[in-house]
Amino acid sequence: MKLIPIIFFACAGCSFAASAQKDFQKKYQSQLILAEPGAVIELPEGTFTLTNTLSLEGKKKITIRGKGMDKTILSFKGQTDGAEGIRISDGSDILLEGFTVQDAKGDAIKAMHVTGIRFHEVKAEWTGVPGPANGGYGLYPVQCQGVVIDKCSSIGASDAGIYVGQSQDIVVKHSTAFHNVAGIEIENSLRAEVFENEAYENAGGVLVFDLPDLVLKKGGQVKVHHNKIHDNNYVNFAPKGNIVASVPSGTGLLILASKEVEIYENDILNNQSVSTGIISYFTTGKTIKDQAYDPFPSAISIHDNRYERKPGLPVGGDPLGLMVGKKFGGNTPHILYDGIKNPSLLDASGNWIAGQCIAIVNNKNQSIVNLDAANNFKNMALVEEGFNCNK
């Protein structure tokens, strides 16, 4: 007889919890739908469970503000609907501040077609051991104009933690990324400045990529400086098929087919396979069908960085790492260049025309290997000359 009220209360508790969740979702989703310009959506302190994407659409001048990165936590662990935690589309002057998005089924926070999107003290996180079932991107502005990511954090993304794609005028600063496949990635984007961040214990620390078959094809004018990029030797747990799945574990910084990239005054430490790589799209082994795509890196300057690595073979077992390890043993050079140059940027004697060269100068512990990728890596060798832009 006494069991009956207990069961009753237990069930009442369950349904109350479920309906409280639904109410939270509806309450904040409604606020986001009805928000007028200038509105501040205040998220309370606590951990809240959501089952569907929270979306903001077609809005101007909206702030979504929690009580702090570790105080307001939106958990999507039981998410049943929607492909991202928070989705922001077609807006302007949007500020996200002071909260964490946890365990989204897809991307944590995606912003598309927003002019003026700021992330301030926002964390995207997948809890537990990082694995391929985690969502792809943590903070994910794409086709946005005017992006600021400041004092943010991303942990556990199965693609890139902080990922800016097909966007323009970007600042990523004072942020932290670890246990992602890629820590910070700037892809097919124009005018990005990435500084004073810490990217560590990812498979790859910082990536600057230009990929084919996209709407915004040509990125460039990217500066990466005063970052701490270290110990990016985490296993690459990306699902196959994605471009980051081919980033070797042990990569500090990788430039793929990008133009006008300046890398300076970074600490690039203990990234055991590729401290820094400069490669063309050909070296990925993927075919190119996009006629308008330029697969070559050019106008790259890498200077005044500090390189260190621990003695020992490259980590991970990536084919490139294995090959370099076989050639150089435990003393892998810091900077790997695939040697494939855009022929249209060379003069008659095979030198870079003005302004298009690849400069690698004045780095502490600088060592460069030309992979000779064009000849199936046959004449892979250390090189000292040819990276000072004919000076």
Question: Which residues of the shown chain bind other proteins in the complex (CB under 8 A)?
Answer: 23, 25-27, 29-34, 52-53, 55-58, 79-83, 87, 89-90, 104-107, 112-113, 132-137, 140, 142-143, 158-159, 163, 165-166, 211, 213-215, 239-243, 286-287, 289-290
Q: How far is the CB of 50 from other proteins (least distance, A)?
A: 12
Q: Residue 40 to residues 97, 214, 312: CA-CA distances in angstroms?
A: 11, 34, 52
Query: With respect to other proteins, which residue has the nearer C-beta, 107 or 318?
Result: 107
The Cα–Cα gap between 391 and 383 comes to: 16
Closest among 275, 253, 122 to 194, alpha carbons compared:
253
Q: Which amino acid is at 64?
A: I
When the beta carbons of 144 and 224 are compared against other proteins, the nearer one is: 144
Smallest separation, CB 143 to other proteins (Å): 6
Residue placing its CB nearer to other proteins in the complex, 66 or 106: 106
Give me the least distance between CB of 319 and other proteins, in Å please: 16
Cβ proximity to other proteins: between 85 and 333 the closer is: 85
Q: Chain-centre distance of CA 146, in angstroms?
A: 17
Minimum Å gap between C-beta 144 and other proteins is: 11
Judged by phi (left if over 0) then psi (alpha if -120 to 50, else beta), residue 257 lies in left
Q: Helix count (H) and strand count (E) of the chain?
A: 2, 29
Strand pairing report for 182-187 and 160-165: parallel
Nearer to other proteins, 211 or 360 (CB): 211
- In the complex, least distance from residue 21 CB atom to other proteins, rounded to whole angstroms: 12
Nearer to other proteins, 52 or 365 (CB): 52
Tell me whether residue 185 or residue 338 sits nearer to other proteins (CB atom).
185
Q: Least separation, in Å, of the C-beta of 290 and other proteins? A: 7
Bridge partners, 373 (sequence order): none
CA distance 65 to 337: 44
Structure tokens at 94: 């949007």
Specify whether the CB–CB gap between 226 and 266 falls below 8 A: yes
Contacts of 115 (CB under 8 A, 6+ apart): 91, 92, 93, 144, 145, 146
Q: How far is the CB of 283 from other proteins (least distance, A)?
A: 15
